Amino acid sequence: MTVVLVDAGGTNIGSVRYALQRLGVDAALTSDAAAIRAADKVILPGVGAAGPGMARLRELGLVELMRSLTQPVLGVCLGMQLLCAHSEEGDTECLGLIPATVCRFAERPGLRVPHMGWNGLTVQNAHPLLQDLSDGEQAYFVHSYAVPMNEWTLASANYGEPFSAVVARGNFHGMQFHPERSAAVGARLLKNFLAL
């Protein structure tokens, strides 16, 4: 099985790669269209802002390629947001693979933005990606923008209001949290993705 990490300039790429190595998978970091197209699984990691993330994909000529992929694809953190249609962050048009708008968390008393730290997951829809995940298990989040609940939400978390923690539409999947920093839960969900 070949797994590639799309080199879209995300700063968490090294830790995602290491998490995959712990599962016995050596994922190549690449921006080569042919390598991405040929891979069995594609992961789009990302940390940072939507505008620069999309600009990097455009600069590398990968936007249409990402939209055309038919194998399982996983977006992590910003990578999940880039799979959506639009982000309020910088008023950015994204890949449009999951028809949702990424919204900034509302400022609320006692809730800081960014949302940073461990938060419980709640399963909304059964899916092989969530195999053996129980409600309340914790994942590690760092983000100021989130995908509202929608029909493609597989699991949610709550930060002042519920938001999408895991999404899937067809072969495109996203995790808003960092599976590579979410201990056993993150490793299990990455393993589930590799098994899709």
CA dihedral over 55, 194, 167, 172, signed as positive or negative? positive
Distance of alpha carbon 18 from alpha carbon 118, whole angstroms: 20
- Asked if residue 119 lies in contact with residue 138, where contact means CB atoms within 8 angstroms, the answer is yes
Q: Locate 108 and state its tokens.
A: 């609320």
Distance of alpha carbon 102 from alpha carbon 146, whole angstroms: 5
Distance of alpha carbon 69 from alpha carbon 82, whole angstroms: 15
Q: How far is CA 177 from the centre of its chain?
A: 7
Active site residues: 77, 178, 180
Q: Locate 34 and state its tokens.
A: 């042919």
Q: Locate 98 and state its tokens.
A: 């999951």
